[in-house]
Structure formats: C-alpha cells, structure tokens
Amino acid sequence: MAGRVIVFGATGYTGRLVVESLLAAGVRPTVAGRDPARVRELAERHRLAAATADAARPKTVRALVDEGDVLVSTVGPFTRYGEPAVEAAVDAGAHYVDSTGEADFVRRVFTEFGPRAERKGCALLTAFGYDFVPGNLAGALALREAGDAARRVDIGYFVTGGGRMSSGTRATIAINAGRGAAHLLADRQIRLLPFARRVRSFPVDHHRHPAGLVGGTEPYTLPRIAPGLTDVGVYLGWFGPATHLMRLASYATPLLTRAPGVATALRRVGDRALARTGEGPDEQERARTGTLVVAVAADERDRELATVRLTGANPYDLTGRLIAWAAAALAAGRVQAGGALGPVDAFGLDELVRAAQDAGLHRE
C-alpha cells in the first residue's frame, strides 16, 4: 500500500508548484501549513486533505506523518525552520524530500540525520530541486563517460534568460553568503570554506563564465557512485563578473559576522526577503528563464576527460516537478535504501535521466 504524501509549506511559492506537479501526476497529497485559512482555501480548491502545522511548534509537524508516509518540506529558510520536518520524518520512519539550497542544512542532513534515518529504513532526499539534482545528474553522466581515470568533477549552475527570484531564493542567498557557508570534497575529505571563496569558469555560450563555490549535495553523493573521486566542487554562476568581487568579500565575511551587530543585520536581510513570503515569478516570467548546468570531469593531472551540459526548464518549475516525482516514487516504494541519499544512489542513473527529461531537463 502506498504511503501518503504530505506537503508541508504547501501554500508557499515552491509548495504550490509541488502540489500542482503532484496533481498533474495523479497524486493527491495532504496539504499542510501554519495558516489555517490559506491551507483550507488550497485544500478546498483541489479537494484535498488538509492539516495545520507550524515549524515553531515541532509537535504539530510530528503529528503530520506516520511510518511509510512521505513528508515534503518547502518551509525555509531551512537553517531556521527546517529541522522540525526532517526530525519528524526520521522519528516516524517516514521518507523525506525538501527544496533547500542552504549548505549548512545540507551538511546536517547528511551528517546528523542520515545515519539515524538509515537505521530506521527511511530515505532523506535533501535539496531535491534545481538545487542540486541537475548537478548530480550531469556529474554522474560525466563520470560515466570519463571512466576510472576520473579523480575530480566540478559542477556549475547557471540560469538563462532573465527574471526575478522568489522570496525564498533571495533568503537562501542571503543566508549562504551571510553565514559564509560552502563546502567541497578535497582529497576525499569534506572541507568547509566561505561562500564563493573559490571561483571556477565553465563553458557557457561559447565563452567561459565564472561561478563561485557553494555547498551542494554532490560532494557527499557522487563519491558513492565513483569511489575513485578525490575532489568535488559545486559552483553558482548567477552573478557574472561580480563573482570575483564575492570571492574577495569572502575573506572578510568570517571576521564581519563575528563583529557586534553584523550577524543581526544579516539576519534582518533574510527576514526582509521573507517579509512578502510566497512570492515569486509568475508563469510568464518563468517561461523566459531556463536552467543550465555544466559538469566537467578531470583526471589527477586536471586534464578534462568529459563535459556534460544539461539545459531546460525554469529552475522553479523544475524544482516542483522533480520533488513531485521523487515524492511519488518514495510513496510507491521504489526506493528501498535508507539514510541521506543522492538522486543517483536513490533511483539509479537511467531512471533519473528519464525523470529529468520528463521534468524538462535535457542533455545538449
């Protein structure tokens, strides 16, 4: 019997996209959130079950799920509000999927919650949208082509076209930059570095474009499918030439965040980004923006062995579709392993390729 799918944060911007994608796939989720009126309105519109839960009251989040259910969380910023949902899933023995892009939270899922989930037999799929499924897919494809000689893979995330960010995306960037949060795999060890401390360039539109270091899932997940890997880096290329200025600023960030009042000021930046929560580009705006992800595999001498480019759907639409697909697959029992998993070790590379194509992401 398939488990229930519960979308926590269903009335938010990403949550609504996930619900729409689930309905399009024939899955009727329970919608949950902290505002009873908004949750009720959404549930009545689609004739869905509804529940009220608030991350500030963890017991209400725990009450959402039972063993075998799938809890989808889009409630961010995750470093502030994410723990109750993943804690509830692990405690219940429920599967879990989220939309985070925050490096600190990604690390916690893999290092703190993952081992507990493995013992419980439930799967945790963190950052299962534009952040960071495409890079896992592109990286895995590049590694398969590169073969056993691959020792390093670098992944760059870009967007094509224009368009504004959602309130949640703005908050994520503010939090990652403010906390100085990034990580990479270096000499087989996870190493923490400030946001954008390292810059790499990637082939985009016949030119090389800079991207700054972020903290994705790939440093944790790709070595599982390519044990010879020693180095994995994930980079964000949204800022063009300003990326180099961000690298210089990264040297000051650790000192600034310890200065009186600065941490509070950075927190307020995130608060302002969320002050108009649930907002983001509409369908027409999203249609003008696309996803571009590049993965480059290299050998121990840093000679390029394979390059894979994936392009396609707007990052927000892509996120909604990928999360919905993962939730449906988990509910149907198509993932048997437990713990914090990456997209490839959860579903297999060939199935992930098909799912990405269905979600609008294709190889060039």
Task: Give me the CATH number covering residue 285.
Answer: 3.30.360
The answer on 209 and 96 residing in a single domain is no
**126 and 215 in contact (C-beta within 8 Å)?**
no
The answer on 245 and 310 residing in a single domain is yes
State residue 116's pLDDT score. 98
Low-confidence ranges of the chain (pLDDT < 50): 262
The answer on 174 and 83 residing in a single domain is no
Structural domain boundaries enclosing 353: 5-130+317-363
The answer on 191 and 106 residing in a single domain is no
The answer on 160 and 309 residing in a single domain is yes
State residue 161's pLDDT score. 85
**Tally of domains within the chain:** 2
Q: At which of 314, 331, 348 does a domain end? A: 314
Q: How far, CA to CA in Å, does 349 sit from each of 37, 204, 317, 344, 355? A: 41, 24, 21, 5, 10
List pLDDT tens digits, range 166-200.
656 656 566 555 555 899 999 999 999 999 899 99
Q: At which of 314, 336, 354 does a domain end? A: 314
Question: DSSP state, 3?
Answer: P
The answer on 202 and 157 residing in a single domain is yes
State residue 167's pLDDT score. 57
State residue 57's pLDDT score. 98
* 3 state DSSP class of 281: coil
The answer on 86 and 177 residing in a single domain is no
State residue 276's pLDDT score. 56
State residue 41's pLDDT score. 98
State residue 285's pLDDT score. 87
The answer on 282 and 167 residing in a single domain is yes
How far is residue 68's CA from residue 95's CA, in Å, rounded to a whole number? 7
The answer on 339 and 270 residing in a single domain is no
The answer on 216 and 123 residing in a single domain is no
Q: What is the dihedral of CA 137, 143, 146, 152, to 10 degrees?
A: 120
Q: At which of 314, 334, 355 does a domain end? A: 314
- Tokens encoding 106: 């990604």
Task: Give me the CATH number covering residue 31.
Answer: 3.40.50.720
How far is residue 99's CA from residue 110's CA, in Å, rounded to a whole number? 15
The answer on 348 and 310 residing in a single domain is no
**Predicted structure pTM score:** 0.92
The answer on 108 and 246 residing in a single domain is no
